[in-house]
Amino acid sequence: MFGHLGFSYVGLIYLLMLWIPNVIWSKNKPIDYDSTHENKILVLFERVGQVCCTGSIMIFSDYNIAAFSPWSSWLIASFLLMILYEISWVRYFINEHTEENFYRSFFGIPVPGASLPVMAFLLLGIYGKVIWLIMSAIIIGIGHIGIHIQHIKAIKHV
């Protein structure tokens, strides 16, 4: 439950799936994006969660693919969420770069840019039976999803 130390190639793949669209987004932010009013507590949760997720996903080998079993369904579900996350980015990049477009739901999933990777990391933690990633996903979820919800509320009040 605490994890076996070692490099995780699955963790590296997940981080690349997470970081690459975010790097592209940093050069294609919504035209009306404003992060100056974000709740500082939520930002703290987000930053701590980012560091903890990045560390725990890379230093435990428990996420690497093992012999197929019913337990593998956690990994499959997690990876499918990451695929949906990538598709949601494509939807954003090919459409108008506005906050409304950025935060709109995707196949009924609210704030997909925050909720999909958080859920994927949580399921990956369950698959690997690594409490550190499970806790890290919860921490980042509080901050990241909370911030995205704040932005949606701000859009609706404009």
Which residue segment(s) compose the domain that 32 sits in? 9-156
* Residue 123 pLDDT exceeds 90: yes
Distance CA 99, CA 90 (A): 15
Domain assignment present for 4: no
Domain assignment present for 2: no
Cβ neighbours of residue 120 under 8 Å, at least 6 residues apart? 14, 78, 79, 81, 82, 85
How confident is residue 115, by pLDDT bands cut at 50, 70 and 90? very high
* Residue 157 pLDDT exceeds 80: no
Please give the tally of structural domains in the chain: 1
Domain assignment present for 50: yes
What is the reported pTM? 0.93
Distance CA 53, CA 62 (A): 14
* Residue 8 pLDDT exceeds 90: yes
Q: Are 24 and 124 in contact (CB under 8 A)?
A: no
Domain assignment present for 92: yes
Domain assignment present for 40: yes
Domain assignment present for 55: yes
Distance CA 23, CA 58 (A): 20
Give the per-residue pLDDT at 36.
86
* Residue 16 pLDDT exceeds 90: yes
Helix (H) or strand (E) holding 141: helix 131-156
Total length of the chain: 158
CB atoms within 10 A of CB 59: 16
Domain assignment present for 3: no
Amino acid at 132: W
Domain assignment present for 53: yes
Q: What is the tens place of the pLDDT at every residue in 29-61? A: 888 888 888 999 999 999 999 999 999 999 999
